Each structure stands twice: as structure tokens, then as C-alpha cells.
């Protein structure tokens, strides 16, 4: 273990990382080295945590969370990462329905940052706004830092925007890395990112967009499948294509669910709203046109219902390929089938709804695997904090590994 | 002091404790050794705190609070215990009116627990639901821990359910132990847990149920007094009877308030709603039958009013027995009378309402004593965390006592 | 730097401070030594923080915040101060519309304080109530501490009441001290605290009252300017006059905005509601007279609008005096003009409203300067905590300076 840790730290030290005093917003803005470094730092933090070591790199300071929606999971992942590193969480509770701009954003960004190390933002409701808002906050922080108003430059971390969901897609990638043994083992594997039926409406696009733009960078064969009309933001398709060409993987779009599942090593069936609907919705929300919003919702749900056969069933799963070791919490059947992934909560047919994204029996087989998939997120967020806040992340982490301090008094291992 | 501390730690080390990686839900599930250990651990933590010593056994990690009602006191007790031990508090803010079951509970329990050490839950609104919910959360945590999804198995701590209120009853017991000098000194003492009039309705049953089932285990003569119809959950009466027989104490139920107070060493006059009403209320709440709920409330308040003479007055107090040293914040008269207890806030006649549970003059004499009673709760909660999270609690606490670290820089004693 | 720090700590050690185990409520209750000590302690904490040193004087304990309004800035300043010193923040979320009195206040004050070091309260909505409430909480804490119910006596810190806003006015004073080089350099300087037009109504009086009562103590020539009718609480004018006479400064009231700006070294144009309106508003709010409240608001806004020329414009700024070094984030023109101050957020004409307190071009020139002004507040709050919670604040701070511990692992300076 100690030797493994040293290896990981050495590998981290060799990466070229241009993240110090910057933000972590979109994975496609990050170099391969930076993505690898994120996974390495997350892995080191997880190793330290699992072995009962103390992981507090900060002795005080704020981790600000700004959730423009209700989010239990991400809230807890962020709070966990903050506690892991020794930061105090403070929630910025803005009115959720308004889009702040200009002076208000510049000012608020500085007012909450005098002793802050990180600002985690989740803002995906308005297509075309979430990412823009995060960039605006980052610029205001640069402004304040340059003028010496801010003693340190807090990092903005994207906890989900309208374009990307990097903490999710990188946690998903870390999960794949663990399941298949390495990042290299993902090369040439087929992952099907597919639309799936849901009885709810307006689900964001950031997960599928995040998956197709990230997994194509690691040589995977990525297939995006959805019914006609359920398009993603066009730019993300272009990025996925470009990345596939660069990495030696592939990227294809299909409207045939069965073809997408066939021989897939990984499936990710998940609902989202069509890009054009999200645009229209933003326009209507902005104009406060409630009647038309209700009509749009009704129309969309009817459209969803016409695609109710887009469900991850046992029959579809039987057409996939396993070719990997079974992980804990999985049915033995799973070894012969694709790894099922979901960002949770899933719409489970006959369990949480009448007709959903996935059948009850498929979900139950992979239930604990999806929990495990989620378990990487706190460490990914913590890694993003370390990479953005420390000029020499490997050295900072090495002090923890070398220090030998334990996280708990007395019998210090949590499983002791 | 140091010698006393060593004695307490040695005593704690000899107790057989089967709480590691388990939950603290009902006192009647816990062995006498475990109850003694809880009091000992609380006492040690309190000694350490009062002497200005540092008490942080954790260097990071979450303490999750899940309050399904508005609770200032318990919220602060829980947050205090978490801060005392070095955990960061994170609130799980669910919609309060819904009862979650099945997949949602299993999933949420794991999603909030990747870096959590403890989950404090307060859920008493629906009779027949609160305890069940906590058991369900615990089972989901076992599930995730066994599968290796959770690096550690957080403890569920009952911060009040429909059946028991262990943090309250154990804090009350610790108060009695301090006032009467020892647990042994409680043997043969009479405690009157009596119903009292309140202008409000729907007060939970967990306090009286917790008191009669706990105090009977320590050889006390427990008298439960209430007007006809104001019954508790039958199982708890049976438990109280069984415990009294085992401990050499006694348990009796009466509808005669004067008889209950006569010669009592301790009185605990407190309102609650009848068991049958709480059952009916649960049925109506579940069905959303608002009209009938309003009718039930009206009927109950009228019934309460017919029992408005169930008030703790000076006249009744004069029939009790003192037989104990006066504690700080008490009137000199108190030495000759019973110790008045309350979980707070009390309905005080002519102060917080017209006709309440206790007269203004009685309450004022014991006001600071009731605050003192409440002051043990943060230490009881902290003790529950230590017993559930450490395989060898005495050794963990000994590292604090031996370490000699102080909680404050510079002049380190808070009363210095 | 080290030598400077030693000098500041030595200076702090010589001050006579009667704040231990007491509250920090109104600057006019504090002696000159205590005010100097507050600035010195804030300065030392800031020096330690800027040099990357650890500043945690507490190893656990609660910092309770009780905000009876929505406040982003103060909430973050308080949380920052708590994190800086090693305390966990816990919010007391009371219903905002009610004024609690008597038993409820006494009890709640104790219930939240068993392991608390500080209670920050913001309560300015009802004129004649906020300060009274804080005094009541303080008395309840004295009561509980004397009886031994509370192991330590938490300090109440006024985060803005109906009379004073000490964390704001002292942060403002610290800003002036930094800009002009020293407190001595403020002697004889003219500061214009002027009313300014706002399209909103009911803004509190505590800022202007805090400024005129504090700056007059440091030999400044304080001019208060407002349209007829926009009076402050009379007592604060008397205090300002008395302090000016004692310190060798001056205090004058005028209804002539131009005269107030002329030759001023510092201008603080900021809206507030007339004293008499706030009184009337309190009476109507208490009586729940919503119709009359709406009428009062309408009348007031009309009155404000008649004074719309009370705006801080370039023309007015051109009549002021500079006579000081330009600070970071300022336009070069600023050296020749007064320092513009504001507690933020400002009503900026054509930016955040049609006609506001200040023109866009003036505000933009001083924008970063106002952020810097705000940046002192977390350190002022932390200083108040240190002075009230430690018998020997200089010694407590010296342990931090001497200890040499760094706040961050690895590369420990935030600007490294």
C-alpha cells in the first residue's frame, strides 16, 4: 500500500497541471495530464481515507456551496470533500428563480470569498446560463485577487451546469477505471450512453454531454442513442467526435436502442429533455410565461410516453457483453453483461414509477454498483480542490502520506 | 480529578459493550452494561470539557442530522456533540410531510454516508413509523457497509422517535445521578411521571415512555399517573413492569395525581396526547383527511381542558419529599421537596399560557435546575457516538485524557 | 513582519480591556483602550492569516448565528471569523416576524449555549427592540453561567441592531486606518456621513449612527447631512457631539449636501429611513396593520423621490479633497478626491436602479475599494470573539504567532 501510494504520488508529480488559482468548469477545457492528475489525486485521497489517515490539508477556511436547485447527493459530496480537507462549509442561499448578473455577481463573488478556498456552484436550470454564470464568478474572483482584496483566489468548481457535469463524469470514469482495472483497459470498450423513458420532464443534459465528451478522450467507443428529437447541445457532439479521433476511439449517434446495447461493455441509460425544449423552456421561464410552460411540459411528457419502450430491460441487457470481473454487490449474471451505470436517482419501473428508465430486476442487480459509482464523487471534488488550491498538489498530498497522522483517536482504523 | 478520571475510564473498560458499528435506538435494547457505559463515557467527556481539555476524537468526517420537525434544542445538542468530537454537521433537509420507504430510504442512507460517522434522526410525528424508519436506515447502512460501498458504518442515533427518546431519558438519568450522588442512590426512590395539562395538542409519547422504561431499570419506584384515556403505547408499560421486577424497583399506574406526588423524590409532570389519538391522527394524516384532523384536534383540546387540574402546583409539591442536597440555582425550599424535572419547553401557567403543566412559582424555583438537566444531553449524544464508532471506547477516551491537549489557545481554561 | 507583529502584540498587552466574559454590543459602551484593542487584535489576526499562519484558538465549540433577516455578507463574515478561530457555526433559525421575550429568551439563550463560545445576533427590524433583545440574551447567559449551568459564558456579538452596527463601523475604521496610514492620521480629517436617495424603503439607521458615534472618537470632523425629516435616533447625535468634544474633533449636522461634501477627505453617502418613520413602522408591524404599512411605504418612497438629487455624483466628488495615497483598485483621479465608502450593496444609478445613492462612474472608480473596506469585517468579528472569550487576548494571540503552525499543508502560503 505504502509503495503504491508513493507510485501514485510520483506519477502525479510528473503531470503538467495548469489549475492553480483557476477554476474547474468543463472537462474539455482540461488537458489529458490534468484529467489524469484529477483521478490520481482522488485516488490518493481515497487511499489515505480508507487507511484511516488524516487528510486535512487546510486548518480552517470556507468551502462555499451555491446550489441553485435542491440537491441532496451533491450537497453531501461537497460537504464530505470539505470536511475531508479541513474546510468549513457555508451555504450561499440565493433565490433560485433569478439569474443575477453584472454588479451583483461581481460583488457577491468577492463578499463571500475573503476567507474562502472554494466555491462549488450547481446551476443547470437555464440552458445557456449556468456555465456563463460560473465564468462570470471566476472573472470577479480574478479581479478581486489581483487587486489584493482577496488574500487567496478561491476556485470555482462546477457541481453541474447546463453544459457539463465534471464531478459526475469523472467519478464515473474513476468507477470504470476501478471496475476494468485501469484507464488503459477502457481503450476499445463500447459504452452506450442512451436516452431512457422517464415520467418526469426537464431533466438536464449535462450528464450525457459530460459522458460523451469525457469517455471519448480515453479511447472508448462511445455510442449516443436517443429517439429522434432528443438532441443534445450540438457543440458537445462535435467535441465528442474530435476527441474520439484524437484518442483512437470512436463516437457515433443512433436512434436505435437495440443497436446501442448490442455488445456494449458499459450502458448508461438515462433520461433527458431535448435540447430545443430546454431552449424554449429557458425563454418561457425568463418571460414568466407560465401557461405556455405548462403546455410545453404537457407536450413533452406526451412525447416521452411515445418513447416508453426506451427502457433498460433484462432482454436488452442480455445482448450486451461482460468481459470483466464482477464487483462487490453484483449478481453473478453481471459478469457476462455490461456494467450498468446511473447518476441516481433512477426512475425504476414498478418501484419508483410505473414506466421508467430501467426495469426493477436490472436495477436491483446493479444497485450496490451504482452506490459504489457515486462513492467516488467526494474524492473527485476533493481532488479538484487540491489541484486548484495548491501550486504543488503532489507535495501537499505527500505531507499527508508521510505525516502518518490518523483521522481517529484510539483505535484509529474505521474498520478496526 | 485525574485519579477520578482514571477510575471512570477503568470502569468503562470493564463493561461489555456490543454497540460498535451498530445503532443507538431504544434504551430497552441495551444491556445494563451498555447503559452504564453510556453514562460513564458522557461523564468522562464532560470532565474533559469542563477541565478545558480537547475532546476531538475525529479529525474530519460528517455528523448528519435529519430532523423531521423543528427542533432548536436537539439540533444544538447534536451540533455541540459533533463539534466536541471533531465532526462537521450536515443537515439532511427532507420534506417533512412525507414518509419515505424502500428504495428511496436505502439509496439516501448510502448517498449521505460515504464519509459520515453518525446520522442523528428525529422522527416522532407518525406513531408506528419513526422507529421503523430508523431501523430501515440502519439496515441500508449494513447493506452498504458489507458491500464495501461505505468505508465505515455510520451509527444511527435516535434523537426522538415515536417509541423512545433515549438522549432525553439518559440525560435525565445523568441529572438524577448527579443530584442524588450516584446511580445506587436512586434505588428505592419514588419518581412520579405524570401527565399534565397543556393548551396544545399532539405532544409525543416518547418522553413518558422513555422515562418509565429507563428509570425502572435502576431500582426506582416509578409511578405513572394520567387521566383515564391518556394511555401510552401498551408495550412500554409491559417493559416498565418487567424491568421493575428485574431491578428490585416497582412500577405502578394510577389516575390519581395527588397519590402520585405524595412522598415522591422526583416529579416529572408533562403533557402528552393519548396513544389512541396518536394512532387515529397518523391514520388521518396519512389519508390527508384535514377536516377530520381539525375535528380530532378540537375534541382533544376539549378533553385536555377537562383535565386542567392536572397541574404541578405548590400545594402538590408540598406533599413530596426532599431528602437530597439542594443544587445550584434552586430555592432553599427545594431541599425539602421533590426534584422537579422537565424536558423543556414547559407550559407555564400565567407565563407562557393561561393554564399549563406547572405553576409559575414552582417552575421558577426549579428553572435553572431544568436547564442543568438539559445540559447533559450534548455529552450523552457524544457518548453514544463514541460507543458506536469505536471498538474500544475507553482506550479512545484515554488518549484524550492522557494527551493533555487543551481546547483553547493561550489561557486555556474557559473559566480562567 | 515578525517584529511588527511583536510590536502589535505588545501594544495589545498594554491595553486595559474589560470584555472577558462580556458582550460586544455598542461601540459607545467601550473605552478607547477597548476600541484600540479591537483594531489591534483584528490586525494581528489578519497579519497571521495573510502570512499563511494557522489562527485556530479553539479546538471545537460552537459559534451561533441568529439572523433575524436575510444577510449574505454578515453571515459569511461571521462564518469566516468562526472558521478562522476553529469554531463550528450553527444557525439559530427563529421565525423572523416575532419578538421573543421573557421566559422564551432566557431558556433559549441557555439551551443553545452549553458548548457555545459566541452568539452573533443581527436584529434591526424593530426600532427600540434589537438592542434590548441582545441585552436580554446577555443577562440570561450571565444567569446560567453564575449557576454553573453553562461551563463557559458565550459572548453576544452585535451583528447589527437598531442602534449600532459595530462590526461595520469598526471595519470601516480599520479601512480608514489602512488608507490614511494610522489612526492618528485621521485626526482633523473631514468625513461626510450623508443621506442618499434610494428607491427602496425602511433601510436601517444603524450604519449612520454607528459612523457618527465612532469616528467622532478619533478626532475626525464628522458632518452628518440629510434632508429635513430624515433624522437619526436623537441619543446618537448627543453621543457624537460629546465624543467630538472629548477627542478634539467636531460634529455638525446639515441639510446641505454640497456643504457636507466640500473639502471632505471621506464621504459615506448612504440611504436610511427617517427615525420617526421607523418608529411608526414598528408600531404598525407590531399591530399587524398591513394596510397602513403599505400606505406608509408609499408615502416614504414618494418622500425619497423628492430628494432624488441627494446622489453622490462626479460633480460633488470634484469638490472633495484627496490628500492621501491611492490604494489598489482605484482610479488615479481618486488621489485628489475623497475616499468614497459604502457598507454595500449600494444603489447605483443606471446599474442596479434608475436613480440611486451614487452615480455609476463614481462607484466604479471606488468599487474595489469598497470590497476592500468589507474585507476587514471577518477580522473585526474574530477580534471581538478573542477579546470577549480570552482573559489575556494578547497572550492567546502570541501563542499563534510563536507557534509557527501553517494553515495549509505542503506549499503553505496561499499566494505561493
pLDDT in tens, A333-350: 898 999 999 999 999 999
B136: pLDDT strictly greater than 60: yes
Q: Minimal Cα–Cα distance from B76 to chain C, Å?
A: 6
Count of Cβ atoms closer than 10 Å to residue B93 Cβ: 12
User: Given CB atoms, is A404 within the 8 Å cutoff of chain B?
Assistant: no
Distance (Å, rounded) from C-alpha B131 to C-alpha B281? Answer: 17
Binary contact (B90, A77; C-beta < 8 A): no
C15 and C79 in a single domain? The answer is yes
C117 three-state secondary structure:
strand
B169 three-state secondary structure:
helix
- Rounded to a whole number of angstroms, the CA Rg of chain B reads 21
**pLDDT value at residue C99:** 47
| Predicted confidence band of residue B234 (pLDDT cuts 50, 70, 90) | very high
Nearest Cα neighbor of B235 from B266, B213, B252, B215 is B213
Most confident of A64-68, A286-290, B33-37: B33-37
B415: pLDDT strictly greater than 80: no
Q: Is residue C21 part of a domain?
A: yes
Chain C contact set for B416 (CB, 8 A): 391
CB A280 within 8 Å of CB A245: no
C381 and C322 in a single domain? The answer is no
Extract the C-alpha cell encoding B83. 463539534
pLDDT tens-digit series, residues A256-266: 999 999 999 99
For the ranges A388-397, B140-149, B405-414, C179-188, which has the lowest average pLDDT?
B405-414
Extract the C-alpha cell encoding C323. 490628500
Binary contact (A107, C75; C-beta < 8 A): no
CB B196 within 8 Å of CB B307: no
> Which H or E run contains C303?
helix C290-306
Binary contact (A409, B392; C-beta < 8 A): no
HSE, side-chain direction, 13 A CA sphere, residue B382: 33
| Predicted confidence band of residue C331 (pLDDT cuts 50, 70, 90) | confident
CB C162 within 8 Å of CB C206: yes
Chain B contact set for A120 (CB, 8 A): none
Look up residue C334 and give its DSSP letter: G
C157 and C246 in a single domain? The answer is no
Chain A contact set for C83 (CB, 8 A): 60-62, 87-88, 115
A100: pLDDT strictly greater than 80: no
A390 three-state secondary structure:
coil
Distance (Å, rounded) from C-alpha C174 to C-alpha C192? Answer: 17
A134 and A239 in a single domain? The answer is no
Binary contact (B72, C56; C-beta < 8 A): no
Q: Minimal Cα–Cα distance from C54 to chain A, Å?
A: 7
Pairing of strands C155-161, B116-123: unpaired
A192: pLDDT strictly greater than 50: yes
Average pLDDT over residues A75-93: 94
**pLDDT value at residue C98:** 46
Task: Report residue C88 CA to chain centroid gap.
Answer: 22
Q: Is residue C415 part of a domain?
A: no
**pLDDT value at residue A96:** 41
* Interface probe with B: pick from A61, A406, A410, most Cβ of B within 10 Å: A410
A142 and A278 in a single domain? The answer is no
Burial of B94 (0-12, 13-18, 19+ CB in 10 A): middle
Chain B residue whose CA is closest to A80: B115
* CB-based contacts of A126, cutoff 8 Å, min separation 6: A99, A162, A282, A285, A286
Binary contact (A103, C348; C-beta < 8 A): yes
Q: Minimal Cα–Cα distance from B247 to chain C, Å?
A: 32
C102: pLDDT strictly greater than 80: no
What backbone phi and psi angles, to 5 degrees, belong to B316? -65, -45
C256 and C387 in a single domain? The answer is no
User: Given CB atoms, is C368 within the 8 Å cutoff of chain A?
Assistant: yes
**Residue of A72 and B375 predicted with greater confidence:** B375
Distance (Å, rounded) from C-alpha A32 to C-alpha B372? Answer: 60
**pLDDT value at residue B285:** 86
Chain B residue whose CA is closest to A408: B58
What backbone phi and psi angles, to 5 degrees, belong to A71? -140, 105
| Predicted confidence band of residue C71 (pLDDT cuts 50, 70, 90) | confident
* Interface probe with A: pick from B101, B115, B119, most Cβ of A within 10 Å: B115
CATH number of A203's domain: 3.40.50.1370
Nearest Cα neighbor of B115 from C220, A50, C86 is A50
- Which residues of chain B from 326 to 345 reach within 8 Å of chain A, CB to CB? none
| Predicted confidence band of residue C414 (pLDDT cuts 50, 70, 90) | confident
CB A279 within 8 Å of CB A352: no
C416: pLDDT strictly greater than 80: no
C150 and C10 in a single domain? The answer is yes
Average pLDDT over residues A185-210: 96
A97: pLDDT strictly greater than 70: no
Distance (Å, rounded) from C-alpha A243 to C-alpha A210? Answer: 13
Chain A contact set for B149 (CB, 8 A): 328-329, 368, 371-372, 375
**What pTM was computed for the model?**
0.97
Average pLDDT over residues C132-143: 96
Chain A residue whose CA is closest to C406: A59
Helices (H), ranges, C346-376: 360-375
User: Given CB atoms, is B107 within the 8 Å cutoff of chain A?
Assistant: yes
A330: pLDDT strictly greater than 80: no
Chain A contact set for B62 (CB, 8 A): 76, 79-80, 83
B268 and B395 in a single domain? The answer is no
Chain A residue whose CA is closest to B114: A375
Place of cell 421565525: C95
Distance (Å, rounded) from C-alpha B149 to C-alpha B135? Answer: 19
pLDDT tens-digit series, residues C20-69: 999 999 999 999 999 999 999 999 999 999 999 999 999 999 999 998 77
* Interface probe with C: pick from B410, B412, B415, B416, most Cβ of C within 10 Å: B410
Nearest Cα neighbor of C185 from C151, C139, C218, C144 is C218
What's the number of domains chain A is made of? 2
| Predicted confidence band of residue A1 (pLDDT cuts 50, 70, 90) | low
**pLDDT value at residue B97:** 39
Chain C contact set for A94 (CB, 8 A): 72
A197 and A146 in a single domain? The answer is no
Distance (Å, rounded) from C-alpha A363 to C-alpha A365? Answer: 5
A133 and A154 in a single domain? The answer is yes
HSE, side-chain direction, 13 A CA sphere, residue C34: 21
Q: Is residue C66 part of a domain?
A: yes
CB C192 within 8 Å of CB C267: yes
Average pLDDT over residues B386-414: 90
Place of cell 433559525: C93
* CB-based contacts of C114, cutoff 8 Å, min separation 6: B76, B77, B80, B374, B375, B377, B378, C150, C151
- Rounded to a whole number of angstroms, the CA Rg of chain C reads 21
Name subunits touching B (3+ CB pairs < 8 A): A, C
Q: Is residue C410 part of a domain?
A: no
Name subunits touching A (3+ CB pairs < 8 A): B, C
pLDDT tens-digit series, residues B255-309: 999 999 999 999 999 999 999 999 999 899 888 899 999 999 999 999 999 999 9
Nearest Cα neighbor of C226 from C244, C251, C208 is C208
Distance (Å, rounded) from C-alpha B33 to C-alpha B21? Answer: 17
Average pLDDT over all residues of chain C: 94
3-class DSSP string for chain C: CHHHHHHHHHHHHHCCCCCCCCCECCHHHCCHHHHHHHHHHHHHHHHHHHCCECCCCECCCEEEEEECCCCHHHHHHHHHHHHHHCCEEEECCCCCCCCCCCHHHHHHHHHCCCCEEEEEEEECCCCCCHHHHHHHHHHHHHHHHHCCCCCCCCEEEEEEECCCCHHHHHHHHHHHHHHHCCCHHHCCCEEEEECCCCCCCCCCCHHHHHHHHHHHHHCCEEEEECCCCCCCCHHHHHHHHHHHHHHCCEEEEECCHHHHHCCCCEEEECCCCCHHHHHHHHHHHHHCCHHHHHHHHHHHHHHHHHCCCCCECHHHHCCCCCCCCCCCCCCHHHHHCCEECCCCCCCEECCCECCCCECHHHHHHHHHHHHHHHHCHHHHHHHHHHHHHCCCHHHHHHHHHHHCCECECCCCCCCC
Average pLDDT over all residues of chain A: 93
Count of Cβ atoms closer than 10 Å to residue A413 Cβ: 14
Distance (Å, rounded) from C-alpha A130 to C-alpha A134? Answer: 7
C94 and C12 in a single domain? The answer is yes
* CB-based contacts of B288, cutoff 8 Å, min separation 6: none
**pLDDT value at residue B1:** 54
Its domain, for residue B204, covers: 171-374
Q: Is residue A415 part of a domain?
A: no
Average pLDDT over residues A196-208: 93
C119 three-state secondary structure:
strand
Q: Is residue C193 part of a domain?
A: yes
Distance (Å, rounded) from C-alpha C277 to C-alpha B82? Answer: 45
Nearest Cα neighbor of B134 from B219, B187, B206 is B206
pLDDT > 70 fraction of chain A, expressed in percent and rounded: 97
* CB-based contacts of B252, cutoff 8 Å, min separation 6: B221, B222, B223, B224
User: Given CB atoms, is B382 within the 8 Å cutoff of chain C?
Assistant: no
pLDDT tens-digit series, residues A21-45: 999 999 999 999 999 999 999 999 9
**Residue of A103 and B126 predicted with greater confidence:** B126
Cis peptide bond N-terminal to B345, omega within 30: yes
Average pLDDT over residues C186-197: 98
* CB-based contacts of A353, cutoff 8 Å, min separation 6: A198, A199, A347
A344 and A399 in a single domain? The answer is no
A70: pLDDT strictly greater than 90: no
Average pLDDT over residues B308-330: 91
> From start to end of A317-377, where are the E strands?
339-340
Residue A110 to residues A132, A138, A148, B190, Cα–Cα distance (Å): 17, 10, 11, 62
Q: Is residue C413 part of a domain?
A: no
Extract the C-alpha cell encoding A199. 415520467
Residue C113 to residues A120, C109, C116, C142, C401, Cα–Cα distance (Å): 31, 6, 5, 11, 29
Extract the C-alpha cell encoding B219. 431500582
Nearest Cβ partner for B57 among A72, A378, A410 = A410
**pLDDT value at residue C250:** 98
Chain B residue whose CA is closest to C116: B80
**pLDDT value at residue A391:** 95
**Residue of A94 and C153 predicted with greater confidence:** C153
pLDDT tens-digit series, residues C197-213: 999 888 999 999 999 99
Average pLDDT over residues B1-26: 95
User: Given CB atoms, is C415 within the 8 Å cutoff of chain A?
Assistant: yes
| Predicted confidence band of residue C93 (pLDDT cuts 50, 70, 90) | confident
> Which H or E run contains B91?
strand B88-91
Binary contact (C411, A390; C-beta < 8 A): yes
**pLDDT value at residue C101:** 64
Q: Is residue B368 part of a domain?
A: yes
Chain C contact set for A116 (CB, 8 A): 80
* Interface probe with B: pick from A363, A409, A416, most Cβ of B within 10 Å: A409
Binary contact (C54, A60; C-beta < 8 A): yes
Binary contact (B114, A375; C-beta < 8 A): yes
**pLDDT value at residue B126:** 87
* CB-based contacts of C274, cutoff 8 Å, min separation 6: C229, C230, C231, C300
A362: pLDDT strictly greater than 90: yes
Amino acid at each position: 500500500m505504502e509503495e503504491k501510494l508513493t507510485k501514485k504520488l510520483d506519477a502525479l508529480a510528473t503531470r503538467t497541471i495548469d489549475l492553480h488559482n483557476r477554476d474547474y468548469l468543463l472537462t474539455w477545457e482540461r488537458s489529458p495530464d490534468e484529467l489524469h492528475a484529477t483521478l490520481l489525486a482522488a485516488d490518493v485521497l481515497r487511499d489515505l481515507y480508507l487507511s484511516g489517515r488524516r487528510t486535512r490539508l487546510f486548518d480552517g477556511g470556507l468551502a462555499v456551496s451555491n446550489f441553485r436547485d435542491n440537491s441532496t447527493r451533491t450537497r453531501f459530496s461537497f460537504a464530505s470533500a470539505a470536511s475531508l480537507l479541513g474546510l468549513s462549509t457555508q451555504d450561499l442561499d440565493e433565490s433560485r428563480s433569478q439569474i443575477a448578473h453584472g454588479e451583483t455577481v461581481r460583488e457577491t463573488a468577492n463578499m463571500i470569498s475573503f476567507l474562502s478556498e472554494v466555491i462549488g456552484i450547481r446551476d443547470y436550470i437555464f440552458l445557456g446560463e449556468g456555465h456563463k454564470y460560473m465564468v462570470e464568478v471566476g472573472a470577479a474572483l480574478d479581479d478581486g485577487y489581483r487587486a489584493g482584496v482577496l488574500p487567496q483566489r478561491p476556485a470555482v468548481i462546477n457541481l453541474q451546469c447546463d453544459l457539463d457535469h465534471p464531478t459526475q463524469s469523472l467519478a464515473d470514469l474513476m468507477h470504470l477505471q476501478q471496475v476494468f482495472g485501469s484507464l488503459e483497459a477502457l481503450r476499445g470498450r463500447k459504452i452506450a450512453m442512451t436516452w431512457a423513458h422517464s415520467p418526469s420532464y426537464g431533466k438536464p443534459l449535462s450528464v450525457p454531454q459530460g459522458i460523451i465528451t469525457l469517455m471519448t478522450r480515453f479511447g472508448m467507443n462511445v455510442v449516443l442513442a436517443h429517439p429522434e428529437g432528443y438532441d443534445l447541445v450540438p457543440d458537445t457532439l462535435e467535441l465528442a467526435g474530435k476527441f474520439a479521433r484524437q484518442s483512437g476511439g470512436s463516437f457515433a449517434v443512433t436512434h436505435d436502442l437495440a443497436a446501442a446495447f448490442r455488445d456494449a461493455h458499459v450502458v448508461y441509460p438515462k433520461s433527458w429533455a431535448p435540447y430545443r425544449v430546454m431552449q424554449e423552456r429557458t425563454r418561457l421561464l425568463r418571460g414568466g410565461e407560465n401557461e405556455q410552460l405548462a403546455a410545453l411540459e404537457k407536450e413533452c411528457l406526451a412525447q416521452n410516453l411515445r418513447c416508453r419502450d426506451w427502457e433498460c430491460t433484462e432482454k436488452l441487457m442480455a445482448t450486451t457483453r461482460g468481459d470483466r470481473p464482477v464487483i462487490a454487490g453484483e449478481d453473478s449474471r453481471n459478469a457476462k453483461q455490461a456494467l450498468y451505470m446511473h447518476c441516481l436517482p433512477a426512475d425504476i419501473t414498478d418501484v419508483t414509477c410505473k414506466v421508467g428508465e430501467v426495469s426493477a430486476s436490472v436495477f436491483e442487480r446493479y444497485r450496490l454498483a451504482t452506490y459504489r459509482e457515486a462513492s467516488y464523487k467526494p474524492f473527485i471534488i476533493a481532488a479538484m480542490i487540491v489541484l486548484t488550491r495548491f501550486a504543488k498538489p503532489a507535495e501537499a498530498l505527500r505531507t499527508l502520506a508521510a505525516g502518518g497522522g490518523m483521522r481517529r483517536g484510539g483505535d484509529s482504523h474505521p474498520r478496526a
